Amino acid sequence: MLLQEMTWKETDTDMKYRRLTGVMVSVAFLGLLTGCAGKESTEQRYAYPLGTASPEDTVTQIYAEKFAEEADRLSDGRIKITVYPNSVLGGDRELLESCYDGDIPFVVQNTAPQVNFIDDTAIFDAPCVFDDIEELRDKVDQPEFLSRMQESYRDAGYELLGYADQGFRVMSSNKEVSSFSDFKGQKIRTMEDPYQLSFWKKLKANPTPMSFSEVYIGLQQHTIDAQENPYEVIVSNRLYEQQDYIIETNHVPHLISLIVSEDFYKKLSEEDQKILREAEEIAKEYAREKSDERISEKIREIEESGTKIITPDEETREQMKEASTPVYDQIEKVTDPELFHLYTGR
């Protein structure tokens, strides 16, 4: 199954059907397990749905499954969570809406669709902040930063447990990039994200929003020169087959959040809240290890295909950062000043 980006273009009928299906699944599953538990003991046992919009063979799924496994183990089988991938319970936007309403207690997803719900998540669009993935992980795990982000999520009706990741987003192209000037004029497909569009324009590239389903053909027919995505997406969709180069721009991270409906979370006992936090901590570290392993595998596959991987030199990297200054200014206007400083150092 192809790994794809989120899509919010669903009809009202589709959305209603997905939500109804999701609620029916969660209620039916909850009733099944609580009913069985009642026959065996007087202790209540729970079965909660966790929704994602990603296919099974992804870091998102690994993160979600490990969280469910650890919640079960730490609660001695009392807290049961079932993962529903592939947008079974809705696409990214609908999952956020259903989580807010309390229909789906758990959601694991990339932070990109959250910008329209939680203003402060726009800081993750700040380009070229980190030079390596461990630096990013240290930042999002930092207690002061994480607690401030959790406040932002609570204000929007969610409880943030933590962040795993899928590495950085990188650029693939049919044009070699050996200096900053080589970005100029490249027609690169991006998501419809105002900050990312602005970033690529500042590099003098020609960013072009396009449906993800059209990217492979667009590259094949030379409608576009380049695109940007995490390694996992580039390989799973075989985009590298139509590209001569991968440029490790590492411009923004591909963060994966684990969120809980705030109303649902507040109703849990302190013991169960602690179990969920501990389960997420274990799942996060596991998902990060798997992400690193998978990226190494993807890089090998790309190199074996003949596509060349280029790491920009320090001078080019500094020029990218300098060109990004106006994008930082845009993001600073819509995010909490202290959070912005904690994340970017500016």
Question: Per-residue pLDDT tens for 320-340?
Answer: 999 999 999 999 999 999 999
Residue 85: pLDDT over 60: yes
Q: Provide the pLDDT confidence category of residue 35 given band limits of 50, 70 and 90.
A: very low
What CATH number does the domain containing 34 carry?
A: 3.40.190.170
Flag whether 5 is in a domain: no
- 76, 162: one domain: yes
- 179, 228: one domain: yes
Flag whether 100 is in a domain: yes
59-74 helix and 270-305 helix, angle to the nearest 10 degrees: 150
- 149, 186: one domain: no
- 151, 265: one domain: yes
DSSP β-bridge partners for residue 259 = 107, 160
**Six-digit token string for 243:** 């590209």
- 84, 47: one domain: yes
In terms of residue numbers, what domain contains 232? 171-251+298-344
The predicted structure's pLDDT at residue 214: 95
**Range from 17-21, 56-60, 97-101, 126-130 carrying the lowest mean pLDDT:** 17-21
Flag whether 7 is in a domain: no
pTM for this prediction: 0.88
- 119, 197: one domain: no
- 155, 195: one domain: no
- 245, 147: one domain: no
Flag whether 1 is in a domain: no
Flag whether 134 is in a domain: yes
- 271, 236: one domain: no
What are 240-260's pLDDT values in tens digits? Answer: 999 999 999 999 999 999 999
Q: Provide the pLDDT confidence category of residue 192 given band limits of 50, 70 and 90.
A: confident
Residues 261, 201: Cα–Cα separation, whole Å: 37
Q: How many domains does the chain have?
A: 2
Residues 230, 166: Cα–Cα separation, whole Å: 7
Place of tokens 């993001």: 331
- 61, 180: one domain: no
DSSP 288: H
- 189, 337: one domain: yes
Flag whether 233 is in a domain: yes
The predicted structure's pLDDT at residue 45: 58
Flag whether 156 is in a domain: yes
Flag whether 158 is in a domain: yes
- 112, 216: one domain: no
